[in-house]
């Protein structure tokens, strides 16, 4: 029997495939021992409720929330975004009103496809901020926009899943009127970057459990500010509470957690997150950024063959460290991206993604919508050996095809 060759996984912006050992211990154990949370007073049900509460508490503590009920579990970040946007746009106060929604230039399709639907039925008007290579958004333009337009909601992709560029939230909130509701898509940035809920009046935060948190696919988180808990839920159904009432409970988290929560997945998410907290998140991020910058530096030495997108050619490491997450996209000039990633996968078992990365707006602003890009995105367990292997493989590809 031949032993399967170890993969070099470099697609963590899609999902973190390599998990901590505690994740596998947790998920294999919980699927056979946890029942339906809130549906019984027997041990298997109570244990499920305990594990969900523990994960909710971990997230609330990290976000420095006093009320853990503001943390809602969903089946994914897209679900979290849909819950907040459908609920916000369809408030009764907006019944006969066309909303003005301002978006960043790096939004994911989870936001843009939903907004496009509402714009088509004439319920909203989408306004776009211009892309800026140095700051991601132009803060001078943002200030002028806010002063001259009635904006009902701002949506920000905190960090690009294509370029790794970060929108500085402190600078953003110091620029706008803090009474404007804001939805933050933090799928790529949490828990690496402090969202500063104490000083920044964030209305909604959508999170993915299976990316930086190293949890399982099928887990998402939604933070809802107390000012917006009266929006309608996306899904109605059983909650295990007040079952004699045909209406959804008005209290959180039950109002937004209809149906059976997958306690085993939430428990595994909590186990991975706890591991990450205890292993020093800041050090992990610094190491990943060092490796990404090392790869960028090599690419720029090959700038006659390889193009890097979303990163200034003259950027130094200190600036990169402050303004990016470990995600970068590139292409080999005059070569189809799929040819490159297939070569890397088949010859070297290296996993990268090519394409539009579910972010058409970002690619439009990068002028790469026609070709797409190859994306490198690092995770907690990547090492310099992984990047050296990628560089070696790309050198071999260049020798063969260019």
pLDDT-based confidence at 400, cuts 50/70/90? very high
| Tens-place pLDDT, residues 333-391 | 999 999 999 999 999 999 999 999 999 999 999 999 999 999 999 999 999 999 999 99
Q: Within 13 Å, how many C-alpha atoms sit on residue 377's CB side?
A: 28
pLDDT tens sequence across 193-219: 999 888 888 999 999 999 999 999 999
| Rounded alpha-carbon distances, angstroms, from residue 204 to 43, 46, 182, 186, 261 | 34, 29, 7, 10, 21
* pTM value surpassing 0.85: yes
* Mean pLDDT taken over the chain: 95
Burial of residue 385 (number of CB atoms within 10 Å: 0-12, 13-18, 19+): exposed
Confidence (pLDDT) at 196: 85
pLDDT at 40 > cutoff 90: no
CA atoms within 13 A on the CB side of 368: 27
Which domains occur in the chain, in start order? 21-277 (3.40.640.10), 281-401 (3.90.1150.10)
Q: What is the pLDDT of residue 44?
A: 87
CB 375 within 8 A of CB 331: no
Average pLDDT over residues 223-239: 96
Structure token pair of residue 71: 């943390």
Bridge partners for 376 per DSSP? 328
Mode of pairing for the β-strands spanning 220-224 and 136-137: unpaired
pLDDT at 32: 82
Residue 81, Cβ density class (10 Å: 0-12 exposed, 13-18 middle, ≥19 buried): buried
Measured distance CA(247)–CA(356) in Å, rounded: 42
- Listed in sequence order, the residues at least 6 apart from 209 whose beta carbon sits closer than 8 Å to its beta carbon are 76, 215, 216, 217, 218, 219, 220, 221, 265, 269
DSSP one-letter code for 389? H
Helix ranges, 167-262 (H): 169-175
Cβ contacts of 307 within 8 Å, gap of 6 or more: 330, 331, 333
Lowest mean pLDDT among 22-36, 74-88, 211-225, 312-326: 22-36
For 20-24, what is the mean pLDDT? 91
**Amino acid 402: pLDDT:** 84
pLDDT (tens digit, 9 = 90+) per residue, 257-276?
A: 999 999 999 999 999 999 99
List the structure tokens of 399. 């020798």
């Amino acid at each position: 029997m031949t032993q399967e060759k170890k993969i070099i996984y470099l697609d963590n912006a899609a999902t973190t495939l390599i998990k901590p050992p505690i994740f596998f211990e947790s998920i294999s154990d919980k699927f056979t021992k946890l029942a339906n949370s809130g549906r019984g007073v027997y041990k298997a049900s109570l244990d499920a409720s305990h594990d969900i509460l523990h994960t909710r508490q971990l997230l609330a503590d990290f976000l420095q929330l006093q009320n853990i009920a503001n943390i809602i579990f969903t089946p994914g970040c897209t679900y979290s975004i849909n819950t907040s946007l459908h609920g916000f746009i369809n408030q009764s106060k907006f019944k006969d009103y066309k909303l003005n929604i301002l978006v960043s230039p790096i939004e994911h399709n989870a936001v843009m496809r939903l907004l496009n639907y509402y714009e088509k039925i004439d319920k909203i008007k989408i306004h776009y901020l211009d892309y800026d290579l140095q700051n991601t958004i132009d803060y001078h333009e943002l200030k002028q926009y806010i002063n001259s337009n009635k904006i009902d909601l701002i949506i920000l992709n905190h960090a690009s899943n294509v370029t790794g560029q970060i929108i500085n939230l402190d600078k953003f909130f110091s620029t706008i009127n803090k009474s404007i509701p804001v939805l933050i898509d933090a799928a790529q940035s949490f828990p690496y970057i402090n969202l500063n809920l104490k000083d920044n009046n964030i209305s909604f935060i959508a999170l993915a459990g299976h990316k930086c948190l190293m949890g399982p696919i099928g887990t998402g988180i939604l933070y809802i500010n107390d000012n917006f808990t009266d929006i309608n839920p996306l899904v109605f159904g059983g909650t295990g509470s007040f079952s004699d009432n045909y209406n959804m409970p008005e209290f959180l988290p039950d109002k937004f957690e209809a149906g059976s929560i997958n306690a085993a997945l939430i428990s595994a998410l909590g186990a991975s997150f706890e591991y990450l907290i205890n292993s020093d998140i800041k050090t992990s991020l610094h190491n990943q950024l060092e490796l990404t910058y090392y790869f960028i530096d090599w690419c720029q030495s090959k700038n006659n063959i390889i193009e890097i997108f979303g990163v200034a050619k003259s950027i130094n490491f200190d600036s990169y460290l402050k303004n990016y997450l470990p995600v970068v996209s590139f292409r080999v000039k005059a070569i189809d991206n799929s040819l490159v990633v297939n070569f890397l996968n088949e010859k070297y078992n290296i996993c990268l993604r090519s394409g539009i990365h579910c972010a058409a707006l970002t690619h439009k602003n990068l002028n790469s919508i026609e070709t797409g890009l190859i994306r490198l995105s690092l995770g907690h367990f990547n090492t310099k050996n992984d990047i050296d292997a990628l560089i070696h493989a790309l050198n071999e590809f260049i020798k063969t095809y260019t």
